[in-house]
Structures are given as structure tokens and as C-alpha cells.
Chains A and B, each alone.
Chain A
Amino acid sequence: MSTPIEEFVNTLELESAARQKLAPDLYALVAGGDRRAFERITFRPRMMVSTRELDLSLDLFGQRHFAPILIGPIAQQQRFHPAGELATARGASAAKAGFIVTSRSSSPLDQVAPLTNAPLWLQLDATADPDRAKQALQLGVKAICLSAPYNWAAVDRLRKAIDAPILLKGIMTPEDAKSALQHGVNGIIVSSYREASPPMANSLDLLPAIAAEIGGKVPILIDGSFRRGSDILKALALGARAVLVARPVLWGLASYGDRGVQQAIEMLQTELARDMAMCGLPSLQQITPACIKVHRR
């Protein structure tokens, strides 16, 4: 008998469930994470602030998000579960979480899009085909992501072709962030993820300098080993508007399909809500660098 999903008390525990389901080569693709940056940050909890009207929602590109947590782009999800992106879309909808589907989805977008009532974005591959973007927008996709490595010519071509929000994923330096603004993008995703890469610098460590460069002109999203609600609150305090979560979602997908996707996201939403309540933060607007302390070790 497999463990009832209610027994999992955090996303980290889902990893062991996924390990039992996945072949070693697939598990290796989604194993682990680098959480050292989170261990160097503590909160400065403020007391006696009512959070009875706790509100985690935010607006991104004119669309309401239930919480600042989206499912990050992962290609070919049938590798992890027979229903692949179809299950992820159902889970995202149940958890009211935004989902970034990729142009390398196991199922075509016209099958995936109807399955979620939550925000749906598309990550295009490096060719950044404008026609593909336009088709996606007609199917209800609200924003287009391009993932590093890309070239500025492709970004400019897409920018000219569509009015919809464009986000660049993979920004890790203030210089690239500045260039992104000059090329007219609507948001950036701080991320050190590169396919088949050795371990890179942690995105959270580089977020403050990038946030200073962006200066609030466009929303900053981030990914990189977010496993706890407290991780998310730390990134928001350092200047991110929302975070992308991928591995915990895949762990849930591999072991429990759409129900696992929902559970992974909901556990993070719940932990973030608890942490905001216990830091005296009734809504995302109150989150500032004064909520945390960054330590040397």
C-alpha cells in the first residue's frame, strides 16, 4: 500500500516518494537542491500585528494570482507520469497556482490549456518562434517566457510580433537585467538553471543586486531550490514578486499525479501563509528587507 498523500508534511518528504517511483536516471534529473542560501537568512518577526485578513494574492500583468508561487517550466512531463502536463495543469488548477507550460510539452497546448482555470504561461524554446507565441496567446496563455540561453535578436523579433508580456528566464547579473529592460521585456526570472550544467551560483544570493538594478520597473520572479514557505518569504523580502517551483511539483507529479502537484503547491502556500502570519505581515505589500536578516554563515 502506498502512503496516503495526506501523510506528507512538507515538500521535502515528497522527494523520497518520487525516488521510489522513478528510474534512477530520471530521479537523478530532479533530485536534491542547493538550500544553503536559505540557511543564512533568519526572520525578524514582528508581534501583535493582526493578520486575520491574511492575503497572499498578487497581480501579475493584469491577472490575479492566488499566491506568489507558480509552477516552473519543465519539458516532457510524461517522463515523470503518464498524464504528464495534463496532470500538472489539473493540479495547478486545483491549487489555484500559475503554470508555465513549455513548448516541449508531452501534450499539445490545446489539450493542456483547457484543464486549468489558473494563470497559464508558455515557455518557448530558443528559437522564440513568434507564430508559436501567437497561437498560444489565442489558447489563453497570458505571458511568454524565454529561457536562457537566448539571443537578443530573437527577443527583439518576438517583442515586435506580440503585445503580450514577455519574461526572460535565466538572468543572473545586473548587466543582463539592464539589457532585458532595454529590450522591452515585461519581467525577468532570476535563475541559474541551465540544461546539463554543473552547479552554479545560487540565484537568491544574486537577487538583491538584480533587484537594485531593476528598481521596481518590472516584476522579478526567481527559481532555485524553493522547498519551504520560509524560502519564498525570504525571496520576497529580497525583492522578488513571486517564485517558481519545479522539483517539488515533479516529485508530487511522479508519485501522485495531479493530486501530488496540488499537494506540493498547497503545502508551500500554507507554509508561506503561516510564516507571514508569524512575521506580522498581513499581505505581500508589507514584505520588505527589514523582515529578514542575512548572515555571513
Chain B
Amino acid sequence: MRHTTQDLTRRAAAKAFAAFVAASPLLRGQIDPQRGHDRVPKLDELISALDFEAVAHAKLPRQAYNYTAYGTDGEFTLRRNREAFDWVQLIPGAVSSPTPPQTGLELFKTQLSAPLLISPTAGHLMLHPGGESATHQGATAAANTPLLVSNNASQPIDQIAAAATGPLWFQLYPREDLNATREILDKAQASGCRAIVVTIDQQASEYERELHDRHLTPVSTRRAPARAPLAPSNPYRIRDRRLWYTWKYFDQIREMVKVPMLAKGILTAEDAKLCLEHGLDGVYVSNHGGRSIDYGPSTLEVLPEIADAVAGRVPVLFDSGIRRGSDILKALALGATAVCVGRVPRWGLAAYGPLGVQRVLEILQAELVQAMAATGRPTLASVNRSLVRTDFS
């Protein structure tokens, strides 16, 4: 029916509008707390880190959400990273600890209150206007959790460093030009970064969700995920700017790095040994959160062979799939010195800014304490393989 001004009285219009509002799912969402997708829950309503993903998903443009979520190709490894934690079971002890569990440790001469750090991830401005500075503030508020600043951060390292006081590390993508490498490393170290993590994987990855998203309007931040045009001109049409990597690079840049240096992306015992041969100060087990090679192994299933190869000579860091305190405990039991989380603080930042980063890290820290208490392990030193039963195939 088409209304004209003559037959639509104020009263009829108000009545029609009231009926429209009453029937609207938006109103029902406000009334019914079970319909959480129609309102943003308060920070203290969220129980686990996984709860933050739904809020981040609701708040972010699709590309920014997908950039955080996706894995390589068919995302087999992305899924396997999570499945692998189901293949490890915690074995509780019978004797209770006389004191609350202590999660503190010293890592590269920095005292940490928990074996938890923030993995380097790119472009936090696409998640929140505060960018990496906001992440640094949230991390610092969460008991000085170290933040590994990405080489592809959306803010300059000195700006991020000035935003809060918690420890920073720096992640480097190798540059074939050694002078360019030196410039980046000098700046990071001048800003107070206490360790350098060199990412050696993700040499030629493609993300199908991103390819599907490429026609959407770009996310309006200073650093949306920028992509080269499709189909590079080499014979196999693959991205080739990272194919030059060799172990020699670590020898070439060693004198540029005055702080501990680690290789990130180790998935085999053989490469862990090569890290030691090339004088690296730590081994970082990672498959880039399922964003390097698809059908690569989950990091948890290769952690034991790498820990065996390293044999306690240097710290072993671990990431790709940690979502809960029990996940942290499983990784520590299988040989990790400390773990890193990448997507988890991104969800926190996107959902609630610095407070979200702080809260989601505190949830993981508290869950780790609970898991240690429940299994009867009073300190990190008492966490070992006897704590778990593994069923890797």
C-alpha cells in the first residue's frame, strides 16, 4: 500500500513505527540476553579467550577479521594446530601443592611473571585506532607481558615503545640488503627491544580467504594487508621475494644484534640443531599460526623432537594454536620454555582496545595457574613430560 500525506496521520504513523520496533530483532536482542550477537557484551562477561573472537568478529570489517583468522590454502594446518591439543591429556597428581603455583621465570635476563608473550603480528591499526601502542599498554598492564613487535607493525617502533613500559622484543623479516637489515635492527635496539626474532618461514604463502576478499573496499587503516598483484612473473607464478633465505644470513647479521637472537619458524629437530650451530640464543617453534605451508605439522606434535634436539641448551619458544591456560601447560610439558599468542591479543584489542588485551592475557595467566594447581605442579621447574599423555599419530 502506498501512503500519501493525506491518509497517514501522526497517530497512524506512530502506531506503525511502534509495531515495526516491537517486531524488530534488534529490540529483541536488547531484551533477550541470550541473543548476544545483537549487543556488545561487557568485558567482564567474557570467560575465556575464545569468547573474545566473537566480539572481534562482530566489530571488525570482514577483511580485518579474515586477516586475523585465516590460514594458508585449505587451512589444514590451521585446524591441526588446535586439534593437536586434544591429542595431549593432562595427568593430575594426587598430592596438593602447599602453596599457590608460581608461574614466574627468567627469560634472557628478563623476569617474567608468566611464560607467556605476545607473538609478532602485523597491522594492529586495522583492529583498533590505538594500534600497537594500545597492545603495548594492555600487555604492560597484564603483569608486564612482553610484546614482540612485528616488522610489519602499523606504528613506528619508537612510538610503540613510548606508549608503555613493558618489555618489547622485535621481529625481523630478513632483508637481502644487509644495510637495510642493519637500519631496521639499529632502530629496534635503540628503542629498547630486548631480543630479536627472525622469521624464517612463510616464504611463499597464499591465503584463499584473502584472495576472495580482494574485491572488497580496503580497510581504511594506515596498514591494511597490502598485497602484490596476483600472478608474479616467474615461471611458476609464485611470490619470490623470500626465496633467497640461507643460514648464512644469521652469520652475516650476528654482529648487528647485541641482544639475544632467535629463529622463528622451526619445525624439525634438524633445523633446531642448525639454530645452535649458527649461534642462535633460542629456538622458536612456529608454523606462523597455520599461515606458512599448509599441511605442515601442528607445532605441538613436533615440539618433543625439537626439545630433545635442543636438550635445554637454549630456551624454546612456542606458538600457533594456544587459546587456553591448559594449552600453555601442555606445551610447557612437551618442552617449551614459554609460549606466545598472536590471535588471542588481536581479538582482545579489536574487541575492547588495551583493556581487552590486558583482560585476555590475564585470563590465560589465571587459567595456567588453575591448571598447575589442578595437576599439582607448584612451579614451572616441576612441569615435565610426566604431566601429559600424548596420542600423536
Contact = CB atoms under 8 A, between A and B. Distances in A.
B268 A46 contact: yes
Interface string B236-263: 1110100111110100000000000001
Given A9-B211, A274-B205, A50 B244 contact: yes
Given A46-B268, A51-B243, A270-B238, A279 B76 contact: no
Bin chain A's interface residue count. 35 or more
A48 B200 contact: yes
Interface string A36-79: 00111111111111111010100000000011000000000000
B271 A47 contact: yes
Contacts of A56: 236
Contact of A42 (B211, B240, B266, B296): B296
B306 to A, nearest CB: 12
Contacts of B22: none
A274 B238 contact: yes
Nearest to B207: A9
B319 interface: no
Interface string B203-241: 111101001100000000000000000100011111010
A50 B295 contact: no
Interface string B171-210: 0000000000000000000000000000011111110100
A132 interface: no
B393 interface: yes
B182 to A, nearest CB: 19
Nearest to B245: A48
Nearest to B293: A278
B297 A42 contact: yes
Contact of A44 (B74, B76, B238, B267): B267
Contacts, number: 115
Most chain-A Cβ atoms within 10 A of its Cβ — which of B200, B237, B292?
B237
Nearest to A278: B293
A283 B249 CA distance: 22
Contacts of A266: 237
A49 B246 contact: yes
Most chain-A Cβ atoms within 10 A of its Cβ — which of B74, B202, B270, B274?
B74
Contact of A47 (B77, B200, B212): B200
Contacts of A54: 234, 236, 238, 240, 243
Given A44-B267, A295-B393, A277 B204 contact: yes
Contacts of B80: 42
A39 B297 contact: no
Interface residues of B, number: 43
B201 A47 contact: yes
Contacts of A44: 267-268, 297
A116 interface: no
A273 interface: yes
Interface in B71-124: 73-74, 76-77, 80
Nearest to A271: B73
Most chain-B Cβ atoms within 10 A of its Cβ — which of A48, A50, A274?
A48
Interface in A217-237: 228, 230, 234
Contact of A278 (B204, B212, B266): B204
B268 A45 contact: yes
B294 interface: yes
A200 to B, nearest CB: 24
A273 B231 CA distance: 13
B325 interface: no
B146 interface: no
Contact of B271 (A43, A46, A271, A274): A46
Contacts of A48: 200, 245-247, 249, 263, 271, 274
A102 interface: no
12 contacts: A12-B74, A40-B393, A42-B77, A43-B297, A44-B267, A46-B268, A56-B236, A274-B205, A278-B204, A278-B292, A278-B296, A295-B393
Question: 6 shortest A-B CB distances, which residue pairs?
Answer: A273-B236, A278-B293, A296-B393, A295-B393, A274-B204, A42-B297
Given A39-B76, A51-B243, 15 more contacts: A42-B77, A42-B295, A43-B293, A43-B297, A44-B268, A48-B246, A49-B245, A50-B244, A52-B240, A228-B74, A230-B294, A273-B236, A274-B238, A278-B203, A296-B393
Interface of A: 6, 9-10, 12, 38-52, 54, 56, 66-67, 228, 230, 234, 266, 269-275, 277-279, 293, 295-297
